[in-house]
Structure 1
Amino acid sequence: MIQITINRNSSGFIQSFKISGHAFFANRGKDIVCAGVSAISVGAINAVHELTGITPDIEHDESGLLSCTIPDGLSGEVNGKIQLLLEGMIVSLKTIEETYGQNIKITFKKQEVE
């Protein structure tokens, strides 16, 4: 199962997300759940970089791990753009979860104190 954790700060802004595991929907190279999650998440990271000029802290490996952390201290305008892009990513991932819930699980965590 693909596990997705979305971490929000105490203000509700997305601070980071982590994706790990495998969907096991189909054989490697034919897994539409894995391909969809990968396309959405990597596309969101690329959009953040391209449209805001901000490069998130990214960790990625062949085991299926993708971790993305948004830097601190951004202006309100830039952070607003990043939040909109990442909220769009979440909407798309939730759409996959609705159909393929046995292969993907999204968890939301909120930091209580900053």
Structure 2
Amino acid sequence: MPKLDFLDFSEKFTRFASGVRTNRTTCDTRFAQVVHDRLADALDRLAGYCREGHQAETMLRTEADPAAREALEETINFCMGDLETSGGGFYPWHLLDRIDPEMDWGGYIDPSAEM
């Protein structure tokens, strides 16, 4: 099984977030803008976890103290867990959270109406 490349994933998440922000400018509804904002924020958080994991891996290469090595390995494991769970509780693919079905209209309530 190949090793996770935190730096590569960080760059990919950052580029994807940048593309989402660029596409946001073409949104013609507030609803679409909110969804784009949420996705970009989620991707930024994922890139942050990758940067933290990469930094811990870099420090682990030269660390001699066993206690410090264990702490760095734990940090790496937490970063991998954050990538798998999107930060423990923050799950970015539920971009439409707080959008309640409006049964009378057969559609959904726009979350940006509260903003």
Q: Which has the higher helix share?
A: 2
More strand by share: 1
Give the TM-score category using the shorter length. 0.3 to 0.5
* Higher relative contact order structure (alpha carbons within 8 Å, sequence separation ≥ 6): 1
- Higher alpha-carbon Rg: 2
TM-score scaled to structure 1, two decimals?
Answer: 0.41
